[in-house]
Amino acid sequence: MISLIIKDIFTLKKTFIFALLYVPFFMIAFQKMENAMLSAGIVGVTYILVVTACAYDEKSKADILLNSLPVNRFEIVLAKYISILLYAFIAMLEYFFIERLVMVIGIPFSISPVTFESLFGALFAVILMNSIYLPLFFKFGYVKSKIVSFVLFFVFFFGISTVVEIVKNADGNGIIKGYILKIMSQTDFLTAVQFSLFLILIFLGSILISVKFYNKREF
């Protein structure tokens, strides 16, 4: 399975450079929305790498080759999901490095600090977006699912800024304000545990669905 992840990384070596340029781009583009800066960068980088890897697999007919090797389909699916976390982690490290660099050099540039909340929010968006997309990819292939991936990206990308604005203006909405207060009344640990369990269930459920779909495909 590790060899499958390494295969994707080598395939994406040129795309990696292009994708990582998006992090500083989003830092500039989201100057007036610092709370969405980290999430937008990580979602953008992960989307580019995941979709490009899927496109390369389809173009090179990698599935035909992989299924002729002593590798079971569960490992092929799981490798794609682990790659998501790897791409997100690399984007997070780049963001953190740029943030530290700007602070040390003293560049007059506004960057949202890396916090547990911002990292968790970014991971939540990445996992949820790809947990919807990958089952469709494994069922229909890249060509038939690429429109869905494009729509999902824009929903999550622009949804980040929308959610931030809703939270900022929550004082004018009793329902939203009440829900936020309810969450805030819990301890940070309890809130983190609840969201973590939700993410894990979504992630595992998506993997199982993808495996089921992929096992039924013929190459």
> pLDDT tens-digit profile of 153-166?
888 766 665 555 55
3-state secondary structure 15-80: HHHHHHCHHHHHHHHCCCCHHHHHHHHHHHHHHHHHHHHHHHHHHCCHHHHHCCCCCCHHHHHHHH
Which two tokens mark 202? Answer: 């979504």
pLDDT of res. 177:
47
Given a cut of 70, whether residue 4 has pLDDT beyond it is yes
Task: Give the residue with greater pLDDT, 69 vs 95.
Answer: 95
pLDDT attached to residue 134: 95
Most distant CA pair in the chain, distance: 59
Distances from the Cα of 24 to the Cα of 98, 101, 162, angstroms: 8, 12, 21
pLDDT band at 19 (very low <50, low <70, confident <90, very high): confident
pLDDT at 135 over 80: yes
> What pTM was computed for the model?
0.82
pLDDT score, position 34: 62
Nearest to 87 by CA among 114, 137, 122: 122
Distance CA 119, CA 107 (A): 23
How many angstroms separate the CA atoms of 109 and 31, rounded?
A: 9
pLDDT single digits (tens) 168-205:
554 444 554 455 445 545 555 676 677 788 889 999 99
Is residue 44 within 8 Å of residue 52, measured between CB atoms? no
Q: CA–CA distance from 55 to each of 48, 113, 208 (Å)?
A: 10, 34, 22
User: pLDDT tens-digit profile of 142-155?
Assistant: 998 989 888 888 88
pLDDT at 15 over 50: yes
Higher per-residue pLDDT: 64 or 133: 133
Model confidence at 128: pLDDT above 80:
yes
